[in-house]
Structure 1
Amino acid sequence: MPHTHYTTLISAANLAERLSAAPGSVFVMDCRFDLADTAAGEKGYAAGHLPGAQYFNLDRDLSGAKTGNNGRHPLPERTALVALLAARGLKQGQQVVAYDAQGGMYAARAWWMLRWLGHDAVALLDGGLQAWEAAGQPLTQDVATLPAGDFKAGAPLAVTFDVQAVQRNLTTHERVVVDARAADRYRGENETLDPVGGHIPGALNRFFKDNFAADGRFKPAHSLREEFGSVLGATAPDRVVLQCGSGVTACVNALAMEVAGLHGAALYVGSWSEWSSDSSRPVATGPNP
């Protein structure tokens, strides 16, 4: 019996049904993390996680080596990430579902990275761990050991934009840069993660949490389309570059745009943490223009 192909979001009810009917058909990624306590996600996973879920750590598994000037969460080498996913059990064409307990901010990074590897059967659990528990679904402390999978990379479905391209864009204005950080950090206030406060000159601000409804799930597609339209105006989605502090929460905006039917935005992975590491690069402060 063919299964539904999820490429953006999956509800707790639909995931539970899928896991019950065909548990081996889904590769579940637990992406819980805390920037202030990097061991918290793994501790939470050990205390209880979705049945069959594998734990993926943002720093260790979903980021590459830091050089001091390539941002706080650079991408790993594509071949290394493919090898890791295959070793953990991912099979070619298998449905992937990522979740966390932080509003999707880390699971969305995993969603984006699977698309970067050319894998479109990847979805975020809408509402995360909280929605799963609210639906009365079980957690387990059992750690599933899966046989190695045959996952291989395909042509990227997600586009990246590097720091040189962002620098050129200051002159060409070919793209619109959208910063996903909170408004105060965007303005250059209350910066606690990076040594310099402010934003890339010309960047607009769309806080990633504005994509969520009060229940923690993503807003409906029509609402997201309208809200992004108010930020982007007539700019086509494939002329948009998304960024944040380190290329993580910008992925929430990337997912929200996909849900809204606004396809093709690029991700500046290095984001503010890379941009601000070089004092020769200009910095802007103050509110959204």
Structure 2
Amino acid sequence: MESLVSTEWLAEELGAPDLKVIDATIFLPGAGRDARAEYEAEHIPGAVFMDLDEIVDASNAAPHMLPPAHKFSSRMQTLGLGDGHRFVVYDNSPLHSSARAWWMLRVFGAHYVALLDGGLQKWKAEGRPLESGKVRVRHGHFTAFVEEEAVADKAYVSGLVHSPSHEIVDARPASRFAGEEEEPRPGVIPGHIPGAKNVPQGELFNADNSWKCGDELRAAFYEAGVELDKPMVTTCGSGVTAAVLLFGAHLLGKNDVKLYDGSWSEWGADPATPKSVGSA
């Protein structure tokens, strides 16, 4: 299974016993939208809801930090997701949050994980079937182990500030990157990691919400001054849209990319970390 599948492909595969569809929609705090309620109102038939706000390390002050392996395994089993299944993840969010779920599943050892190109937006625009309510599932058996090399922590990123050998790439909108608007979470100072480049995650998509590809996708990084031949760390507000950049790099065949899980929610809340404002 490819890492990115089309709506046509999913429509043909829907109902296969080894295929599990996951809605991983999430919104920014204060967006005025309820992801779970929207899922229950309409979702792709058979899809389960992966709550990215809950499947976290609750002991960490930063939001969306990876949970312990046992918690992730437990949540996946409750959703009926198990070893040997093929997973297709989608969302209905401007954050393109399904990329975070794709990354998490891979970090915890899943082998067959894909994103639905265009997400629910494209699926609905094509008049494909939807259902409402909750999906009844049988518990799966998900064996979780963490691929530590895929994750960057604050200490690791601190060692890369202004490093000529690596790229730090921030997925937030340009105004947040520049520190021109308040962060959506209290106690977080506006700005960005010194030396970081800014590729707002929305620039990786076409008007119909499908992913750009090839030269168009590559240009989104090049135009921000990102050198794709260097190892990369992606960051954002809380580790969600950072996964969008990581997935985009993956589509270009680039896999020497780590995700800074704490992202700006952790970095910007720490008085000891260096911070920059303005464009890169």
Normalising by structure 2, what TM-score?
Answer: 0.91
Matches within 5 A, 1:4-19: 5-6=1-2, 8-19=3-14
Matches within 5 A, 1:204-219: 204-219=197-212
**Is 1:105 matched up with 2:100?**
no
Name the SS of the counterpart of 1:169 in structure 2: coil
Partner of 1:259: 251
Distance 2:100 2:179 in 1: 24
Counterpart of 2:42 (choices 25, 48, 61) is 48
Normalising by structure 1, what TM-score?
Answer: 0.89
Q: Which has the higher helix share?
A: 1
In structure 2, the CA distance between the partners of 1:42 and 1:158, relative to structure 1 (3 Å rule), is farther
Alignment check: 8 A CA contact 1:103 1:128 kept: no
Q: Please state how far the C-alpha of 1:240 moved relative to its aligned partner.
A: 0.5
Name the SS of the counterpart of 1:83 in structure 2: helix
Gaps of 5+ in 1: none
Alignment check: 8 A CA contact 1:120 1:157 kept: no
Q: Please state how far the C-alpha of 1:230 moved relative to its aligned partner.
A: 4.2
Alignment check: 8 A CA contact 2:78 2:139 kept: yes
Q: Please state how far the C-alpha of 1:135 moved relative to its aligned partner.
A: 1.8
Matches within 5 A, 1:152-163: 152-153=143-144, 156=147, 159-163=150-154
Distance 1:224 1:97 in 2: 22
Matches within 5 A, 1:1-289: 5-6=1-2, 8-20=3-15, 22=16, 24-35=17-28, 36-37=30-31, 40-61=34-55, 63-68=56-61, 71-103=62-94, 105-153=96-144, 156=147, 159-170=150-161, 173-194=164-185, 195-231=188-224, 234-237=227-230, 239-288=231-280
Output the aligned Cα RMSD.
2.1
Distance 1:123 1:252 in 2: 13
Distance 1:131 1:177 in 2: 31
Distance 2:112 2:148 in 1: 11
| Code of the aligned partner of 2:258 | A
Instruction: Calculate percent identity across the aligned residue pairs.
Output: 36
Distance 1:169 1:84 in 2: 34
Alignment check: 8 A CA contact 1:66 1:73 kept: no
Gaps of 5+ in 2: none
Q: Please state how far the C-alpha of 1:111 moved relative to its aligned partner.
A: 0.4
